[in-house]
Chain A
Amino acid sequence: MSTAVHADVNRRDFLFIATGAVGAVGAALTAWPFISQMNPDASVLAMAAIEVDLAPIAEGQEITIKWRGNPVFIRHRTAKEIELAKSVKLEDLKDPTARSANVKDGDPATDENRVVGGKEGFLVMMGVCTHLGCIPIGNEGDYGVVEGNVKSGGWYCPCHGSQYDTAGRIRKGPAPENLFVPKYEYLSDTKIRIG
């Protein structure tokens, strides 16, 4: 382009740049559908909620259900497991926040904040290790209740050795966060809806 200063050329320059800018915005907007199509689709989002009956789960028993493609642990904790979880000081925790969708972000990881409605018998959380997504194994690791040869409570991730305590809080290993507690509510005394 000429370096000579001339009113017509300046106007033309402006038009060139303006046209180019509109073209660039158009290209960027066109790219969005191609990126967005990879996000969860309507059918995936539709599988959002599930109801679970807690009555058949005996004390000390744990069931795993599938919700949104991931395992959810529902554990009916023993009194000793609850007691052990409550005896842990907050400053001993690797992740001191509750990581529960049922309390405010950043609330402390007390045992109360890890359950819902004060029903401390039932611990409901995602069975997805916060390190790289493996399923931790129940009644394993160094942070459960030990009576003789029997361990109860506590989780151990077989992939990279992360260990969680009887409230599903990370205590050892590479995982950065406590096992996530999904949004759920009690429909009745023994029935919950997750999601």
Chain B
Amino acid sequence: MSGPSNYQPKSAFGKWMHERLPIMELVQGQALDFPTPKNLNYWWTFGGILAVMLVAQLVTGIVLAMHYTAHVDMAFDSVEHIMRDVNYGWLLRYLHSNGASMFFIAVYVHIFRGMYYGSYKAPREVLWMIGVLIYLVMMATAFMGYVLPWGQMSFWGAKVITNLFSAIPFVGESVTTWLWGGYSVDNPTLNRFFSLHYLLPFVLAGLVGLHIWALHVPGNNNPTGVNVRGSQDTVPFHPYYTMKDGFAIVVFMLLYSAFTFFGPNYLGDAINYLPANPLSTPSHIVPEWYYLPFYAILRAIPNKLIGVIAMFGSILILFALPWLDTSRVRSGTYRPIFKQIFWIFVVVCITLGFAGSGPPDNYFLSHEAAPPDEWHLTYKLVGQIAAVCYFAFFFPILPLLGLLESPKPLPPSISDDVLAKKKPLVPAE
């Protein structure tokens, strides 16, 4: 792991330390001198943004835990106590709740970037799969965090999601009872969710370490998808990408601050400001925005078990992506048909998000209920069409496209591509 560093300790202490723990060599080789393709665009800054968001969530979360009480009788009040009494409590809580949304915005951009530029292809399959695992752990962490304020949507979201496991044949009931620690979502459930919500971010940090390790073996992919051929193709990570990432992080913080200070509840559900009531289901249950596409897939299928399988399958299929895409060209830039299908896929995912947001039997994007037993463009029908498109992208479109599509010629090297795009300062006569 010492990487491309020729670290030589300068001070006597540095030499003493180097012989015992060569950590400065690791930092210099992996974080400072690491050769990084010189053509990375701003879509590549989201990795750094995600690292910052993980730290932001850890820091705000740890201080919130100093004021929160994980008990069904006190959880809701303790969150209001944070909002009203604790010094800057409102700020810390809004940073944490909006931070979760920002984290997901960044991770979705990061995932779509990886898909467009073929970053999952050999030799980066394990890097990609660790990424999918990180995404799964993020979803679990965010879900358990949303339960903690013990509002109406916390409670009913928890009930619906944990009930997904009751679809497992034979052992489903026992599994849900075990998850709940009772016969319903109750105090034991809240307590264990708090414990796990505190644990999982540290698991995430460990997975992120593995993700970066797996990244630093082959090195970064880049917008051309062409391998690095030599030192003319790269620049040291510091200062070039510490600065580029740093700038992007500052811009991203503007967005984060805009939500935190000017629309702190815009992404949340107002009904979660009602305390949880196990005897009254809200008229319309929706998860947080970042789960909506998967919720739409769950609702698209009128069979419980198959719906649950489809929902989990829609995420797990990402693990197989490196093998489903048969094209040997990484970057979508050189794949004319893939490029268009990719953007259609993005639209399909966003459509799924909208389809998951409304009552299943209402007209799509309307408050009006459609008459039953007839064909109408309802939230459910839009979700069904989009769900079919979602899975069709992975199979059979991607495997076939790799065989049928003729890609455009690739540039001979990163450096050639960069120089070819460079505009002359004085137009040629």
Residues of A within 8 A of B (CB): 35, 38-41, 44, 64, 66, 68-71, 130-135, 137, 142, 158-161, 173-176
Residues of B within 8 A of A (CB): 156, 159-160, 162-164, 166, 177-186, 188, 192, 278-285, 299, 301-305, 307, 359-361, 372, 380
Beta-carbon contact of B188 and A44 below 8 Å? yes
Q: A41-B188, A44-B181, A142-B372 are in contact. Are A135 and B307 (CB under 8 A)?
A: no
Sorted nearest first, the 7 A-B pairs with minimum C-beta distance are: A69-B184, A133-B163, A68-B183, A132-B163, A135-B281, A132-B160, A134-B281
Beta-carbon contact of A174 and B160 below 8 Å? no
- The distance from the CB of B75 to the nearest CB of chain A, in whole angstroms, is 16
Q: A38-B192, A44-B188 are in contact. Are A71 and B182 (CB under 8 A)?
A: no
For the complex, would chain A's binding face be called helix, strand, loop or mixed by DSSP majority? loop
Question: A174 — which chain B residues lie within 8 A by C-beta?
Answer: 299, 301-304, 307
Beta-carbon contact of B360 and A40 below 8 Å? no
List 17 A-B residue pairs with CB atoms under 8 Å apart, sorted by A's residue number.
A39-B177, A39-B178, A40-B177, A40-B182, A44-B182, A64-B279, A66-B279, A69-B182, A69-B185, A131-B304, A133-B163, A135-B281, A142-B372, A158-B359, A159-B156, A161-B360, A174-B307
Question: A133 — which chain B residues lie within 8 A by C-beta?
Answer: 159-160, 162-163, 166
Q: A38-B181, A44-B182, A135-B280 are in contact. Are A176 and B360 (CB under 8 A)?
A: no
Question: A137 — which chain B residues lie within 8 A by C-beta?
Answer: 281
> How far does the alpha carbon of A47 sit from the alpha carbon of B166 in the complex, in Å?
23
Beta-carbon contact of A132 and B159 below 8 Å? yes
> How far does the alpha carbon of A135 sit from the alpha carbon of B156 in the complex, in Å?
10
Q: A69-B186, A161-B361, A174-B302 are in contact. Are A39 and B181 (CB under 8 A)?
A: yes
Beta-carbon contact of B281 and A158 below 8 Å? yes
Question: A142 — which chain B residues lie within 8 A by C-beta?
Answer: 372
Beta-carbon contact of A159 and B182 below 8 Å? no
- The distance from the CB of B373 to the nearest CB of chain A, in whole angstroms, is 8
Beta-carbon contact of B278 and A71 below 8 Å? yes
> How far does the alpha carbon of A143 sit from the alpha carbon of B297 in the complex, in Å?
27
Q: Please tell me which one of the listed residues A41, A66, A176 contacts residue B305 in the complex, with CB atoms under 8 A apart.
A: A176
> How far does the alpha carbon of A39 sit from the alpha carbon of B303 in the complex, in Å?
28
Question: B285 — which chain A residues lie within 8 A by C-beta?
Answer: 134, 158-159
Q: Please tell me which one of the listed residues A70, A132, A161, A176 contacts residue B303 in the complex, with CB atoms under 8 A apart.
A: A176
- The distance from the CB of A78 to the nearest CB of chain B, in whole angstroms, is 24
Question: B372 — which chain A residues lie within 8 A by C-beta?
Answer: 142
Beta-carbon contact of B160 and A159 below 8 Å? yes
> How far does the alpha carbon of A39 sit from the alpha carbon of B164 in the complex, in Å?
18
* Most chain B CB neighbours (cut-off 10 Å) among A70, A133, A158: A133
Beta-carbon contact of A71 and B279 below 8 Å? yes
> How far does the alpha carbon of A126 sit from the alpha carbon of B73 in the complex, in Å?
24
Q: A159-B285, A176-B305 are in contact. Are A68 and B160 (CB under 8 A)?
A: no
Beta-carbon contact of A134 and B188 below 8 Å? no
Question: B188 — which chain A residues lie within 8 A by C-beta?
Answer: 38, 40-41, 44
Question: B304 — which chain A residues lie within 8 A by C-beta?
Answer: 130-132, 174-176
Question: B380 — which chain A residues lie within 8 A by C-beta?
Answer: 161
Question: B164 — which chain A residues lie within 8 A by C-beta?
Answer: 132
- The distance from the CB of A67 to the nearest CB of chain B, in whole angstroms, is 9
Measured CB to CB, the nearest residue on chain A to B184 is A69
Question: B183 — which chain A residues lie within 8 A by C-beta?
Answer: 40, 44, 68-70
Question: A130 — which chain B residues lie within 8 A by C-beta?
Answer: 304
